[in-house]
Structure 1
Amino acid sequence: MRLISFEHAGRASWGRVEGPEVVDLGAAHGAPADLKAAIALGADMTGEAPRIARADVRLLPIIPNPSKILCVGHNYESHRVETGRDKTQFPSIFTRFADTLIGAEDPIIRPAVSTDLDFEAELAVVIGKGGRNIPEDKAMDHIAGLSCFNDASVRDWQWHTRQFIPGKNFPGTAPFGPELVTLEEISDMDQVRVESRLNGEVMQSATLDHMLFSIPVIIAYVSTFTPLSPGDVIATGTPGGVGAKRTPPVWMKAGDKIEVSVSGVGTLTSLIRDEA
Structure 2
Amino acid sequence: MSKTVLITGGSSGIGKAIGEYLSKRGYQVYGTSRNPNRISSSVFPLLKMDVNDTESIEDVISEIIDRSKRIDVVINNAGVGITGPIEETPESEIKKAFQTNFYGPINVIKAIMPHMREQGGGHILNITSIAGYMGLPYRGIYSATKAALEITIEAMRMETLQFGVKMTNIAPGDFATNIAAGRYHSPVLDDSPYKRDYGNTLKMMDEHVDNGGDPLEMAKVVHKIIETPNPKIHYKVGAPLQKFSIVLKRVLPDRVYERLLLKHYGLK
> TM-score surpassing 0.5?
no
Structure 1 or 2: more strand by fraction? 1
Structure 1 or 2: more helix by fraction? 2
Q: Of the two structures, which has the highest relative contact order with CA contacts closer than 8 Å and spacing of 6 or more?
A: 1
Q: TM-score, normalised by structure 1?
A: 0.29
Structure ID, larger Rg: 2
